[in-house]
């Protein structure tokens, strides 16, 4: 039976995994390669590495980090942050990534989705969408808006419509982050996830708000997510994927166990 995926996300700045607490303080959580392996051993189904600064100067550091992380990692490995062209994507793939995640650059130039897919396959292209529910709307979820630049800039695009366009342009998966729930540890935006998941054929990865195993079970069962991603709860030994997955499985969600 196809299982639901638990994805561990590493936010990387200047070659180190970092995690903001309450959006502000950045805490050093360690070496990306070491953490990626620890997560994989602890049962994470995939690893995502996001370069949160993605400065041009940091490019060499990122590729070196990707190379080191990928060297002996044998689960799917996605890299995102600052990928603006098919050449940028190729460099990341050559360093050992299996998929790239693109966000602002896909909105700036939607053709990029197909360009990367043409060389590396649709399965290698994840379109990341940062979403915020609409305010003063009869349908705040249906009219949820896409934001870019780390959530600072509204685009005027509706989340569901952009997800459908991304699929039509050849995205292999959608990584949907709710800015309303992100960092709060109060649960995913299940309603938004469900609406997007029902609107597209490709897998939807839910992100933002994970705080407990119950939240994961909820986003799989009622949010119809194919995968769910979390970062902070996996760091600092708060929990590991194996324990988390056992709890989610007990709630009736197919999980890869033992792993």
Residues of the shown chain interacting with another protein in the complex, contacts defined by CB under 8 A: 1-5, 40, 45, 70-72, 74-76, 93-96, 98, 119-124, 172-173, 201-203, 226-227, 256, 259
> First and final CA of the chain: distance in angstroms?
15
To another protein, the closest distance from the beta carbon of 160 in angstroms equals: 16
Pull the structure tokens for residue 219: 């986003």
To another protein, the closest distance from the beta carbon of 94 in angstroms equals: 6
CB closer to another protein, 102 vs 107: 102
Is 11 annotated as catalytic?
yes
Q: Which of 31, 51, 130, 226 is catalytic?
A: 130
CA distances from 20 to 26, 156, 226 (A): 4, 27, 26
Residue 169 backbone class (left: φ over 0; alpha: ψ -120 to 50; beta: rest): alpha
CA pseudo-torsion sign 127, 146, 204, 253: positive
Residue 178: is it exposed, middle or buried by C-beta count within 10 angstroms (0-12/13-18/19+)? Answer: buried
Q: How far apart are CA 141 and CA 35, in angstroms?
A: 35
To another protein, the closest distance from the beta carbon of 180 in angstroms equals: 26
CB closer to another protein, 19 vs 169: 169
Contact 125, 83 (CB under 8 A): no
Kindly compute the dihedral angle of the four CA atoms of residues 36, 40, 41, 45, in this order, to the nearest 10 degrees. Answer: 160
In the block, tokens 């051993």 appear at 41
Q: Which of 11, 31, 98, 226 is catalytic?
A: 11
CB closer to another protein, 42 vs 134: 42
CB closer to another protein, 123 vs 239: 123
To another protein, the closest distance from the beta carbon of 203 in angstroms equals: 5
Contact 46, 11 (CB under 8 A): no
CB closer to another protein, 133 vs 194: 194
188-203 core/surface letters (b: 16 or more CB in 10 A; e: else): bbbbbbbbbbebbebb
Q: Active-site residue numbers?
A: 11, 130
């Amino acid at each position: 039976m196809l299982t639901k995926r638990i994805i561990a996300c590493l936010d990387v700045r200047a070659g180190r995994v970092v995690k903001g607490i309450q959006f502000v303080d950045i805490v050093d959580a360690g070496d990306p390669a070491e953490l990626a392996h620890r997560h994989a051993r602890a049962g994470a189904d995939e690893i995502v590495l996001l370069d949160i600064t993605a400065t041009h100067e940091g490019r060499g550091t990122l590729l070196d980090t990707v190379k080191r992380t990928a060297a002996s990692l044998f689960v799917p490995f996605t890299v995102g942050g600052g990928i603006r062209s098919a050449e940028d994507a190729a460099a990341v793939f050559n360093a050992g990534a299996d998929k790239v995640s693109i966000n602002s650059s896909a909105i700036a130039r939607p053709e990029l989705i197909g360009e990367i897919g043409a060389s590396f396959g649709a399965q290698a292209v994840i379109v990341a969408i940062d979403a915020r529910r609409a305010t003063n709307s009869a349908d705040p979820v249906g009219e949820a808006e896409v934001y870019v630049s780390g959530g600072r800039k509204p685009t005027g695009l509706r989340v569901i419509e952009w997800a459908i366009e991304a699929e039509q342009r050849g995205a292999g998966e959608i990584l949907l982050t709710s800015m309303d729930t992100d960092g709060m540890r109060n649960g995913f935006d299940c309603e938004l996830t469900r609406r997007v998941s029902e609107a597209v054929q490709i897998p939807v990865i839910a992100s933002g708000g994970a705080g407990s195993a119950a939240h994961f079970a909820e986003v799989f069962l009622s949010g119809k997510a194919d995968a769910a991603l979390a970062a902070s709860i996996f760091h600092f030994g708060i929990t590991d994927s194996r324990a988390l997955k056992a709890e989610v499985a007990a709630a009736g969600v197919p999980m890869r166990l033992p792993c």
